[in-house]
Amino acid sequence: MTKPQAAAPRSLADALRQRDDSGIAGLLTARPDLLHPVPSDFTALATRATSGPSVSRCLDALTSLELFVLSTAAHLSSDAAVDTSDLADAATAGIHPDARSEVEASIRRLINLALLWGSASSVRAIHPVREAMTGVNAPAWPPAQLTWSRVISQAEVDEQAGGHAQASIARLRDLLEAWSAEPPGVLRSGGLAIRDFASAIRMLSSDAPTASLSIELAHAAGLLADDQEERPVWTPTDAFDLWVDAAAPNQWAALAVAWLSMPRLPGLATDRTNVLANELDRKAVIGLRLGVLSLLTEAPAGAMIDPASISAVLNDRQPRRAGQLREQVIASTLAEGLLLGMMVGGALSTAARVLVTETPKDRESKAAAAMADAMPALVDHVLIQADMTIIAPGPVAAGLGAALRRVADIESRGHATVYRISESSIQRALESGWDAAQIRGVLTEASSTGLPQPLGYLIDDTARRHGAVRVGTASSYLRCDNEATISTILADRRLRTLDLARIADTVIVSQAPSGELISGLRAAGYAPAAEAPDGTVVVRNLRQHRAASPRHRRIAASRPDPATLITAAVKGLRAGDRAAHAPRQTTIAGPAGVSQVRATTSTAIVAAIRTAITEATPVWIGYADTDGTTTEQIIDPIRISGGTVTAFDHRTEQVRGFMVARISGVALLESESGS
């Protein structure tokens, strides 16, 4: 016996109603905005699918070919449904004879997206499309394809990416460690002052885009925040202390994941950019960046992609999203991806492919494992030269790197990092609590060439002079046991702006704050040390400034676990449709009267509801109202989570939530006799 054919649908709601569950699930997957909130029935689903915002969002995801086919369908079906064969003929004639199969595939997709509806042989465009689709030009044929200049081995890509990843970690760590001691202020309008940004650029020996990427990444990853004090500053968070102690691959993975969900383009920064300002956020950047990265996964491994072909392919696949912002995202993604170790010349690293293709649940750990194989080996020794420079022939181990940054300044970065030891850098180490012997010991242990004699003299001389002049807070004061030194300081014309006044043979006071007084004395060639109220030398804590880790609201391109929600929504739509069209007098029989649903334990209630969800069967429940009375009603359970059952309520004929704590019992339905 053959299955009777369904009658031709009279509306989009009828067409949706005739689809099987997989067809409805496919529509909700392709158009996730239709899910929130879950429509009560197919009429509500059709109404939402034809609303202006939903249609516009759907059109944004169509290719040039699909837009042209849809435009042709809108024109031909303005008065009556058009035969699908005639539609394919008309669209193919406007493009190219070889495009016939692609045109037919586009018609099927447009039907699946509910932009076209009808029978198996004829379709119509929905009203919003017929009104909006005008002036669509035929797409170029054949469609644009990715091109590349050359192909290198994936091992070479990973090796170069690992080096860039290690460098990106070092830049961010050095920046935040410096800001731990001297955090920059927060502007009243938000963001970082241009002078502080310029200082960060100089400290990192980089350009504006590179420094901006480090700063914005630190903020996006929750490692940097406004401390919310009366005079707020940008300071590392307590999460930075955990991050800095983690393994390098895990550090990189945390930064890479933050980059994927960062709604900013730091790669476009200039010297005048107000970094960290709220107005730099553009949510569309996240989806566009993921679009670029997803496209790069289609290229062969190691292919050095031509940026112009990326733009051409994306303009063909999503022409309604073309524009200046997407061009900026393409350029910024390639530049930032190189600095971060995501790609080399448009060729994705293995770790980057994992981040783009894996599920959010597993991608960070798997990407860290992939990057661990790509990062260069750490070195545990350096070369100290007589010109006061230290050469690290590769990325140094964490402990050694921290010690070197404490006693020397980074002069240049690259495959080999060059540090410079100076009087001021030694003073910094002395201020942090080290003495001359400790500085000598650290450098001697790290050096494979021994400690040059001039460096030993510099360390001893600086340590001997350090603390001879001491500064405290009055507004501030200066004291020194050597009266001749006091007289010299008072007579020094370079210190006139500090408003110095002698109050004793060995004490000077100043109207300037102690920090400004120390900086001025140091610039004039003295070697002051900060003094505590008890007369001891202040040891500077490198982790003095910390802010609480902010709770960032992740901006995601899709909601979590969409498959479960879609399955539940399909059940709800079917249940709602049955309730809307079922005769009122044929309600399924249940317990005879009020309070006939037997009260059970919460464990039994949850088990019964889970069974009903699995078997897709309706049940009776006893439900306590807010006034304490218990009513009985039929529901179709859809899902249960967080102490709430989401179900279709036959009484109100809509999908709603029921608190498990207020359900007194569950009873199976009894079919009517003869049914």
Q: Can you spell out the DSSP letters for 361-380?
A: HHHHHHHHHHHHHHSPPPB-
More confident residue, 80 or 629: 80
User: 């303005």: which residue's tokens?
Assistant: 78
Average pLDDT over residues 522-534: 85
Q: What percentage of residues in the chain have a pLDDT greater than 70?
A: 91
Q: Give the lowest-confidence range in 159-168, 402-411, 559-568, 576-585.
A: 576-585
pLDDT at 588 over 60: no
Which residue reads 């669209």 in tokens?
Answer: 91
- Is residue 556 in some structural domain? no
Query: 613 and 639 in contact (C-beta within 8 Å)?
Result: yes
Q: Note whether 175 and 262 are same-domain residues.
A: yes
**pLDDT(581) > 50:** yes
- pLDDT at 648 exceeding the cut of 80: no
What was the pLDDT predicted at 68? 95
Mean pLDDT of 314-329: 94
Burial class (CB in 10 A: 0-12, 13-18, 19+), 414: exposed
**Per-residue pLDDT, 527:** 86
List the beta bridge partners of residue 658: 645
- Nearest by Cα to 96 from 77, 68, 115: 68
- pLDDT attached to residue 635: 85
Place of tokens 């110095």: 500
Residues 164 and 102 in one domain: no
The answer to whether 75 and 132 have CB atoms below 8 angstroms apart is: no
* 593 CB-near residues (< 8 Å, 6+ apart): none
Is 234 in contact with 180 (CB distance < 8 Å)? no
Tokens for 300, please give them.
């062969």
Q: Which long-range contacts (CB under 8 A, 24 or more apart) does 491-499 make?
A: 492/524, 494/520, 494/523, 494/524, 495/520, 495/521, 495/524
Say how far residue 327 (Cα) sits from the centre of its chain. 20
Closest CA to 187 of 279, 315, 117, 87: 279
For residues 376 and 252, is the Cβ–Cβ distance under 8 A?
no
* Mean pLDDT along residues 647-667: 81
Mark whether 418 and 440 lie in a shared domain.
yes
* Least confident range of 82-86, 203-207, 458-462, 642-646: 642-646
The answer to whether 426 touches 419, Cβ cutoff 8 Å, is: no
Q: Strands 347-348 and 619-624, how do they pair? A: unpaired
What distance in Å separates the CA atoms of residue 48 and residue 50, rounded to the nearest whole number? 5
pLDDT tier for residue 574 given thresholds of 50, 70 and 90: confident
Residue 259, pLDDT > 50, answer: yes
Q: Please report whether residue 491 resides in a domain.
A: yes
Checking if the pLDDT of 500 tops 70, the result is yes
- Indicate whether 196 and 127 sit together in one domain: no
**Are 368 and 392 members of one domain?**
no
Q: What is the mean pLDDT of residues 53-67?
A: 93
Domain-located, residue 265 = yes
pLDDT bucket at 351, cuts 50 / 70 / 90 = very high
199 and 347 both lie in a single domain = yes
Output the CA angle 632-636-642, nearest 5 degrees. 90
pLDDT of 626 reads 75
Q: How many residues does the chain have?
A: 675
Q: Is residue 437 part of a domain?
A: yes
The string over 285-300, giving b where at least 16 C-beta atoms fall within 10 Å of a residue's C-beta and e elsewhere, is bbbbbbbbbebbeebe
**Please, which residues bridge with residue 329 across strands?**
none
pLDDT at 287: 92
> Exposed (0-12), middle (13-18) or buried (19+): which is 274, by Cβ within 10 Å?
middle
One domain, residues 209 and 109:
no
| Two structure tokens written together for 161 | 């990416």
At 384, which helix (H) or strand (E)? strand 383-384
Closest CA to 506 of 526, 531, 478: 478
Write the CATH number for 645.
Answer: 2.30.30.100
E strand map for 120-167: 122-125, 148-151
Confidence band of 293 (pLDDT split at 50, 70, 90): very high
Query: Mean pLDDT, to the nearest integer, of 441-452?
Result: 87
Among 72, 99, 132, identify where a domain stops: 132
pLDDT for position 307: 94
Contacts of residue 456, Cβ cutoff 8 Å, sequence gap at least 6: 440
Residue 163 lies in a domain: yes
Query: In this structure, are residues 449 and 197 in contact, taking their beta carbons and an 8 Å threshold?
Result: no
* CA 649 to chain CA mean position, Å: 38
Average pLDDT over residues 463-492: 84
Separation CA 125–CA 75 (nearest Å)? 9
Look up residue 311 and give its amino acid: S
Strand duo 507-510 + 500-504: pairing: antiparallel
Out of 38-42, 367-371, 607-611, which region has the weakest mean confidence (pLDDT)? 38-42
Task: Give tens-digit pLDDT for 20-44.
Answer: 989 999 999 999 889 877 787 888 8
Residue 470 has pLDDT above 80, yes or no: no
Range of the domain at 428: 383-447
Which DSSP letter does residue 475 get? Answer: T
Q: What is the pLDDT of residue 474?
A: 67
Q: Which of 106-110, 422-426, 568-572, 649-653 has the lowest mean pLDDT?
A: 649-653
Tell me the CA end-to-end span of the chain in Å, nearest whole number. Answer: 23
Confidence of residue 263 (pLDDT cuts 50, 70, 90): very high
What integer pLDDT is reported at residue 123 of this predicted model?
A: 93
- In this prediction, residues 72-84 reach a mean pLDDT of 90
Q: Is 603 exposed, middle or buried (CB count within 10 Å of its CB: 0-12, 13-18, 19+)? A: exposed
- DSSP codes, 154-191: HHHHHHHHHHHHHHHHHHHHHHHHHHHHSPPBBPTTSS
Residue 516: per-residue pLDDT: 85
Measured CA to CA in angstroms, residue 563 lies from 386, 557, 610 at distances of: 65, 15, 17
Do the beta carbons of residue 359 and residue 317 sit within 8 Å?
no
pLDDT band at 547 (very low <50, low <70, confident <90, very high): low
Tokens 């062969």: give the residue: 300
Per DSSP, the chain holds a count of helices (H) and strands (E) of 26, 23
Question: Which range (190-194, 288-292, 668-672) has the least confidence?
Answer: 668-672
Q: What is the mean pLDDT of residues 280-294?
A: 93
Q: Is 5 helix (H, G, I), strand (E, B) or coil?
A: coil
Pair (162, 29) in one structural domain: no
pLDDT band of residue 589 (cuts 50, 70, 90) is very low
Mean pLDDT of the chain: 86
The whole-number pLDDT of residue 541 equals 61
Check if the beta carbon of residue 588 is closer than 8 Å to that of residue 670: yes
CA dihedral 15, 16, 19, 21 (to 10 degrees): 180
What pTM, to 2 d.p., does this model score?
0.74
Same-domain check for residues 360 and 217? yes
For residue 585, the model assigns a pLDDT of 42
Together in a domain, 254 and 288: yes
pLDDT of residue 545: 59
Note whether residue 560 is domain-resident: no
Q: Is the pLDDT of residue 510 over 80?
A: yes
Residue 390 placed within a domain:
yes
Cis peptide upstream of residue 300 (ω within 30 degrees of 0) = no
Q: Is residue 568 part of a domain?
A: no
Average pLDDT of the residues in 542-557: 54
Position 553, amino acid: R
Q: At which of 71, 105, 132 does a domain end?
A: 132
User: Which pLDDT score, from 0 to 100, does residue 672 have?
Assistant: 40
Which structure tokens are listed for 45?
């689903």
Residue 559 binned pLDDT confidence (cut-offs 50, 70, 90):
very low
Same domain, residue pair 481 and 426: no
- Type of residue numbered 510: S
- Count up the domains in the chain and report the number: 5
Whether residue 364 is found in the same domain as residue 396: no
